[in-house]
Amino acid sequence: MPSEKAASLWAAKTAEGLARQGLEVVVLVPHRGGGNPFETYHLEHNFVLVRIPIINLFNLRFLRRAAFAVSSVTFTVGVVAHLLRYASRRDAILSNEPLPMAFVSLFFKNCFYELHVLPVRKRPFFAFLLSRMQGVFPINNYLGEQVIRLFSIPPEKICVAPGGVELSEFVCTTDKRTARESLGLPPGRVVLYTGHLYGWKGTDTLAAAAPLLPPDVLVVFVGGTQKDIAVFAGQQLENPHVYIAGHQPHDRMPLWLCTADVVVLPNTAKKKISKYYTSPMKLFEYMAAGRPIVASRLPSIEEIVSDEMAILVEPDNPKALAVGICRILNDPALGERLASAARQKTAQYSWEKRSEKILQFINEVKQHS
């Protein structure tokens, strides 16, 4: 922490939000180097970051398969040792790291697990883990329902807590033309995607839709790891309608969003993580920025936005995606209505509201335990 991955920002904003509720918050992360998250993410210095030493083999190519397992085990040992030394038995411990939490729960009662995926393959292990938790925070309703069904977790132990956004940071105060000039974009209309370039994100569908758009439209991709950017850029060499900006600091995302006539969330329906499990931070950022959204019609997305807030299209269909984008490009008034409705709903999804919900649930559980 910080890192190119959204999980790092998610954890940092959760910690900052809980600290704003008056809690003393300590965040334990693996010591893999990295910069200063308080500067990178513009965080308040209201929580303590502790880097736990690990055995780091990620730089050794021939050991990469074992590197994650080794780092996970050594991180788990370090976390348990740190908590046994410094934490009180009254403290609440929250994490989405399964292995450390399984062992921590053997020594501490007030453990809470944040569930981001449905752990079907490791069902016996997760049955044990979740049974040890005082409460579970699934990031969407589908995960909450499945946890109750598959693991027989009582509903009163479930509190759905989707992702969030820092509302004040994502107000577009710069006009499109100025934003585009400052970022070096050519003249014309902009269709924008921000985030990673993993296959389940549907970026290939958006790239395939680009040539179907009017000739003055540029499809801009912002984000991705170095490896994924190189692969994606190689695939788009013959696609003049695509502009790949690469990884950008998170504090530049609001400016990039200011460039957009349309923002797109083209998630695939081919992967369960996309169709059912995700609670995409980019969606909340799109909503907060007040830009018209075109998104795949998937359960994970429809849980947040409806047809009154976005154009929802058939996933994995470049033509349908292009038609949806053109609906907004050809009818700016429609785009403004959708964007305004989406922005109004975003107030429910601030990091502050999320932290209030988490703290209230933890307090209620502790009172009844």
Judged against a pLDDT cut of 80, whether residue 220 lies above it is answered with yes
Q: In the predicted model, is pLDDT for residue 1 greater than 80?
A: yes
Residue 19: band (very low, low, confident or very high) from pLDDT cuts 50, 70, 90: very high
> What is residue 357's predicted lDDT score, i.e. its pLDDT?
95
Runs of H (alpha helix) within 211-303: 226-235, 253-258, 272, 281-289, 299-302
**Average pLDDT of 19-23?**
94
Q: What pLDDT digit, counting tens, does each position of 244-270 carry?
A: 988 888 889 999 999 999 999 999 999
Judged against a pLDDT cut of 90, whether residue 291 lies above it is answered with yes
Mean pLDDT score of the chain, rounded to an integer?
A: 91
Better-predicted residue by pLDDT, 181 or 238: 181
Read off the DSSP letter of residue 133.
Answer: -
Helix 6-20, helix 351-368: angle, nearest 10: 70
- The DSSP bridge pattern shows strands 48-52 and 26-30 to be parallel
pLDDT at 141 over 90: yes
**Backbone angle region of 42, left / alpha / beta, with phi > 0 → left and psi within -120 to 50 → alpha:** left
pTM of the predicted model as reported, rounded to 2 decimal places: 0.90
Helix (H) or strand (E) holding 78: helix 64-86
Peptide bond into 98 cis (omega under 30): no
Give the sheet arrangement for strand 93-95, strand by strand. 93-95, 111-115, 135-138
pLDDT digit string (tens) for 59-104? 666 666 777 788 889 999 999 999 999 999 899 999 999 999 999 9
In tens, the pLDDT along 312-326 reads: 999 999 999 999 999
Q: Domains along the chain?
A: 6-163+350-368 (3.40.50.2000), 167-349 (3.40.50.2000)
Q: Beta strands of 177-292 (E only): which ranges? A: 189-194, 217-222, 242-246, 262-265
The answer to whether 118 and 153 are in contact (CB under 8 A) is no
**% of the chain surpassing 90 pLDDT:** 72
- Average pLDDT over every residue of 105-120: 92
Whole-number pLDDT of residue 63: 66
